[in-house]
Structure 1
Amino acid sequence: MHDMILLTTKQASDLLGISCDGVKKGVSRGIYSATYAPGKGKGGKQLRILLESLPQSAQDKYNGVEPAKPASDFDMKRLTEKQRTKLKQKIFVIKAYESFKKEYLKRDYRKAFISYFKDEYPEIDADLKLNAGKLEDWVKKYKGNGAEGLTDGRGGSGKGTTSLTQEMQEDFMGLYLSDKEPPITTCYSALKIYYEEMGLKIPHISSFKRFAKTIPPAAISMYRKGKKHFNDNHIASIPTVYERNMKSNDEWVADHHIYDVMVNGNGKIGRAWLSIWFDRHSRAVVGYVINLCEPNADIVLDSFVDAVTKHGIPKRVHIDNGKDYKAHDLFNCDNPESLVSVLDVAVRHAIPYNAKAKSVERLFRTLEDLNKLLESYIGNSPDHRPESMKGLNKAIAPKCISYEDFKKYAEAVIREYNNTPHSGRGMNGRTPKQVYEADLVSVRKIEPDALAIILRRSTHTAKVNKNGVKFRELQNVCYNSETLQELAFGKKVYARYDTADVSKIHVYEAETGQFLCVVGFYGEYDYGADEEVTAQTLREYGNHNKSVKNQARSYKPKKTIDIQTALINHASRLTDIDINGKPTNMALDVEKRKELHDIKQAESLLDKNKSKPTVKELDETAILSSLGRRRSG
């Protein structure tokens, strides 16, 4: 058995081309074998690395073995004409340099040769731009690999190849193709450390940059930008022409939009919301509400009521997947008592995060363009916020349009939109209003009295006890009457209620769905105070140079256009969609008509014999204020 050769940490690092710390980490991870020998160090011991545990290249380097050069299969025919010319010029320079050194015996031979060459061969030097660094590099490469070492593969037969191994490429993509979007420099630094720990070197960062450019844009989009970016930019959508096989009221699309305008609602500064219903075929806005609060199921119902009241009942609705559309009593086809079940409306759900599926997204962009003319427009992102609208709400309040004025403006913008020629496919330059009216075959309608009863929210079921019944949707307020006790004591019931007036509710038997009675408040209700609005932090800006300010102010417009009033006045002369004269089908069946008759009688009786609460006098105004939905209006 031959003697083991043990190396110091410094010797091993020189052979491996890595730091001493890298060698020690390799030992701790079991990559290299090591032992301890007596010497100066901690505990009188020094680390020794076994030569045989190092890579073969390091062992050969220690033993003075020159690596065998592979047989060259270099063929100049693979090069372009330009590459062959440049290669011949470099070889000519090297040969001339070797001859010059033999005859020129002074120490500054390199500098002297470059000066000599530039004077004697200016045409070649114009191409090569010879200097000391290039000269030594060419000599070294020619000595090591011959003519092939001097070849610049860029743009020639070697184009598209890489010095990265398959493993390096995969490791790089594992870091680079991340939704955290790390830069190439960061990925390279991490890979360099990773491979150094294994005693290996990786090519220069330029190789990784070239490789990154070969990764398809679709892969970059999917893994670095996300699924939505990938779908929006790389997945082709099927062009849709809505005039084929569709008519007005065949499908309505619902969505919400928060305006990029700051409004002043009785001293509260914020952005208004638009909840809208949009006819798919004609692109016409058929119903909407504008609110200062975030959308909820009540507001969705409110906007649907607005659309149905004006334009009848659609065959189908296309809704989002948000919780405000998933209320059990509105657009849930599995619930026989839901709004769409009673009105016989089909439901289609949008693909999550897929703006392409709902053309209403394009409508929002159109509506927002006119908002840019308002002083309190704030842009669609913090980066695009106008300088004049930066600051605390208190500071920008004087510039904010009032909520009531903004509602009038927004309503005028929607009317303008419905009366403006549309460039969409199949519209043929007509306005949404014209297309809607022309292609409305018939209208499904409900009598106004019936609408007021059907277009209500429903509660979940609850059991009637001696004190009446409470529903969590109605803040657990107690409702009771002698009729309720007589008809439903001990039974499970549910209620339908008007979100604008919860002082009385319609009660139904849960098992059969049969209408029982109309019931009013009974009992006491506690409610909490509103949350205090907190202020935002104001970023302070430095003062501008006085001369710059004066120069900028000299360009201040001397005339402002009251576009807001002009647009509202113009819109007031436009007409809304007219469905009069179209064939009308009434949507209620005989059973629902009987239920409507019974409800009217019960409400009339309740109004005549309204009993007083037995617990104590109720502050009905406070209860209605607390229970009443965040009303649109």
Structure 2
Amino acid sequence: MAGREGSENMDYITTKEAAELQGCTVQYLRKLCKTGAVECKVSKSVKGKDMYLIPVSALSEQAQHKYGKQLRESMQLLPETAESKPPAKRKKQREQKPLEAYSAQERDKIALWCQIIKDWMDTRASYGKRSEADPLFVAKCKLEHPELEISLDILYRKYAAYKQDDYDGILGIRGGWNKGKSRIPPEIWNVYLYYWLDDNQPTASQSYLNTLEWCRDFKPELLDGIPSERAFRYRTRRDVEDYVKCMAREGQKACHDRYAPYIVRWYDDLNANDCWIADNHTIDVQSVDDKDKQHRLYLTGFLDAKSGVLVGYNITDTPSSQSTILALRNGIRKHGIPKVIYVDNGREFLTRDVGGLGHRTRKNSLAEFQPPPIFARLGIEMRNAIVRNARAKPIERTFRTLKEQFSRVFSGFNGGSVAERKESLKTVIKNGLLPRDYVLRESLEAWIDGIFNCEEYGGSESKYKGMSRIEVWNQSIAEVGMRTATDADLNLMLARSTQMQKIKRNGVRIKLHGEDLWYMDPTETFKMIGQSVYVRYDPADLRYVRLYDEQDRCICTWGLADYLYRDYLEENPDAVGDAMRILRSVNGYMRDGAAAHLKKLDPAQRIAALDMTVRRAHRNKLEHYKIVQPSNIIPMRANEEPAELAVGAEDMATVIDIKRMADNAEKERKG
């Protein structure tokens, strides 16, 4: 070979010869030699230019064997033996999958290609020169299968895959020979996941930079082997399961809502009024009240689980337990009393006198008497939804329907978020075009009964197909009957109640909107002070309340003691006089009650307490006061002789007037 030189048992060839062996351009190889990327030596050509000579050992194995073959041919040597052949290039091994791992559509496609390959082999076998059959068979396949891309190269590739039972190759799925392998060191991959699988949801770029920084501090020897950020992104999509990403980056609730199974509720055994579902909804409409104050109203609704009818509702400024009672009253008057009410854990439902405290009940209060809540008095069982489980409350879908079909038709629609708020809302507010509260109330009441309840039933029961929601309710309730109550009984059962309290001097009290209201009866309250009772009242009529004892028996009815409320600097003498007259009447009732007991005794038998005490003392003295001398008498004597009394001493003692001496002392004291 021209240009070949030998030096120290090493063959050198020119860049042109090396480029032919390597299969690259001369310019590219000269550039590598000039930059030192390829081992070479420099010599001067005849024209004085630099000439690069490359050792054969610097070439690839394939190029070296090719050079040896040319050398043997030039030297007329024997062909190379099997041992002298270059090692075969390692073929990428594809991971084989069983046929059942493919979809039905993919299996049909595999079967089609297998049949085409068999037909091709049969066609070639019928020709003397097989290559003559190939273009004719390709043309025939294009006519029979215009939907397929067919060429001779494609047939050979499919045939190679067919012989190896490589179904991915038959389908034309490329790659996969190195699936599951990664150039990312396992320790570095774990560090990256530590930063990326965080609920702050950092970006892949931030996590990659944090991983590099960690490697500089703890594993600097691995820093050069870390691939690019793109490799981390690809492996994240390939190796990290979706549920893991969701759980770590978005939280347990998001993962539960997206990946966990849910309960499929069976409605066949459910009847109308078996279960009502209650909840509150913020109406997505800005409106103004009578004082031109801009706000949003709320809807408290009860939905029948069987038919989807919105049976009871109340529109209010603020969700509260009172709004719940009004919505329940509205539903009971029209649709009867349900058996079960399904509510969430809001305080407007878990109020002590409405549904009870539910899971908030304290153990130390279980032994105490608690007034029966409204649901219990109506014979309704209350069930609480699992916290943060919106799937269990179909009424949420009703509220979405209300939003889309009702709220959006108003000029004051502002959506449930900033993204839904329309651009023209500012102009509507500025021009005073927001709807009035009474217009919104009237329109919503008409929409609920006239449109929503009359729309087609959307449940899964086929026997109700084509019927409206209210028709489903009517048919179901006719099969089981309806519990009802008169207005008078309903008012009693829906009355609010207080906790147990002791009657005080001013009677009993209820707390309403932060204020204490006292109720009493001037003729009875003072007789019942200290007795334990609870109070039922109607917030719509606060003139009277009913008192109940611990056995839930009605004791009496008392009126509002509004006369006890007077300003501290009350100047109206009539107002103060009215209150004082009532207080004096109470004192009169108490005095008359005490005197009534005294009048029961005959005046002749009324003996003073002092006289009765002296009489009892004389009687006891005569009957019980006796001194008994003991048999053992011990005399005591003085150590000196007794003095003789002066003559006439006994007579002197008898003439002293003690009373006169006391009178004289009293006169001297008074001066």
Q: Taking structure 2 as the reference length, what is the TM-score of the superposition?
A: 0.55
8 A contact 1:288–1:303 mirrored in 2: yes
CA-CA distance at 1:100 after TM superposition = 7.2
Counterpart Cα distance in 1 of 2:248 and 2:580: 63
CA-CA distance at 1:613 after TM superposition = 7.1
8 A contact 2:371–2:499 mirrored in 1: no
**Cα deviations by residue, 1:3-42 (Å, 9 ceiling, x for unpaired):** xxxxxxxxxxxxxxxxxxxxxxxxxxxxxxxxxxxxxxxx
CA-CA distance at 1:481 after TM superposition = 1.8
CA-CA distance at 1:250 after TM superposition = 0.6
Aligned to 1:301: 325
Q: Which residue of 192, 205, 225 corresponds with 2:250?
A: 225
Aligned to 1:338: 373
Aligned to 2:504: 465
Aligned to 1:279: 304
CA-CA distance at 1:350 after TM superposition = 0.9
1:614 maps to 2:575: no
TM-aligned CA distance change 1:102 to 1:489, over 3 Å:
closer
1:408 maps to 2:442: yes
- What aligned pairs does 1:30-179 form with structure 2 within 5 A after superposition? 95-97=22-24, 155-179=175-199
**Cα deviations by residue, 1:75-110 (Å, 9 ceiling, x for unpaired):** xxxxxxxxxxxxxxxx99992459878889995999
Larger radius of gyration: 2
Q: Between the two proteins, what is the percent identity of the paired residues?
A: 26
1:436 maps to 2:485: no
Aligned to 1:489: 529
CA-CA distance at 1:504 after TM superposition = 2.3
TM-aligned CA distance change 1:211 to 1:446, over 3 Å:
same
8 A contact 2:506–2:518 mirrored in 1: yes
CA-CA distance at 1:169 after TM superposition = 3.3
8 A contact 1:241–1:425 mirrored in 2: no
8 A contact 1:273–1:295 mirrored in 2: yes
Secondary structure of the corresponding residue to residue 533 of structure 2: strand
**Cα deviations by residue, 1:297-331 (Å, 9 ceiling, x for unpaired):** 11111111111121111111111111111101111
- Greater mean deviation of Cα atoms: 429-438 or 92-101: 92-101
Counterpart Cα distance in 1 of 2:442 and 2:32: 95
TM-aligned CA distance change 1:254 to 1:103, over 3 Å:
closer
8 A contact 1:378–1:385 mirrored in 2: yes
Aligned to 1:565: none
Q: Which amino acid aligns with 2:412?
A: S
Counterpart Cα distance in 2 of 1:400 and 1:377: 9
Secondary structure of the corresponding residue to residue 261 of structure 1: coil
Aligned to 1:288: 313
TM-aligned CA distance change 1:152 to 1:387, over 3 Å:
farther
Counterpart Cα distance in 2 of 1:149 and 1:613: 113
Counterpart Cα distance in 1 of 2:441 and 2:287: 10
Secondary structure of the corresponding residue to residue 512 of structure 1: coil
Secondary structure of the corresponding residue to residue 406 of structure 1: helix
Aligned to 2:200: 180
Secondary structure of the corresponding residue to residue 309 of structure 1: helix
Report the aligned-residue RMSD.
Answer: 3.8
Secondary structure of the corresponding residue to residue 164 of structure 1: coil
Aligned to 2:544: 504
- What aligned pairs does 1:547-586 form with structure 2 within 5 A after superposition? none
8 A contact 1:101–1:109 mirrored in 2: no
Aligned to 1:553: none
8 A contact 1:419–1:433 mirrored in 2: yes
Secondary structure of the corresponding residue to residue 305 of structure 1: helix
8 A contact 1:468–1:484 mirrored in 2: no
Aligned to 2:456: 421
1:383 maps to 2:403: no
8 A contact 2:307–2:472 mirrored in 1: yes
Counterpart Cα distance in 2 of 1:406 and 1:444: 32
Q: Taking structure 1 as the reference length, what is the TM-score of the superposition?
A: 0.58
Q: Which amino acid aligns with 1:174?
A: Y
Aligned to 2:349: 325
Structure 1 residue runs without a partner (length 5+)? 1-90, 111-137, 528-611, 618-633
Higher relative contact order (CA 8 A, sep 6+): 1
Counterpart Cα distance in 2 of 1:409 and 1:107: 87
Q: Which residue of 365, 389, 396 corresponds with 1:354?
A: 389
1:196 maps to 2:216: yes
1:314 maps to 2:338: yes
Counterpart Cα distance in 2 of 1:388 and 1:324: 35
Secondary structure of the corresponding residue to residue 516 of structure 2: coil
TM-aligned CA distance change 1:516 to 1:165, over 3 Å:
farther
Aligned to 2:610: none
CA-CA distance at 1:484 after TM superposition = 5.0
CA-CA distance at 1:378 after TM superposition = 1.3
Aligned to 1:521: 560
Q: Which residue of 354, 365, 387 corresponds with 2:400?
A: 365
- Greater mean deviation of Cα atoms: 431-440 or 369-378: 369-378
Aligned to 2:75: none
TM-aligned CA distance change 1:360 to 1:99, over 3 Å:
same
TM-aligned CA distance change 1:102 to 1:458, over 3 Å:
closer
**Cα deviations by residue, 1:447-478 (Å, 9 ceiling, x for unpaired):** 11111121011112222122223344562232
Counterpart Cα distance in 1 of 2:30 and 2:295: 87
Structure 2 residue runs without a partner (length 5+)? 1-17, 38-57, 64-86, 95-173, 359-365, 569-576, 583-671
Counterpart Cα distance in 1 of 2:325 and 2:351: 10
CA-CA distance at 1:160 after TM superposition = 2.9
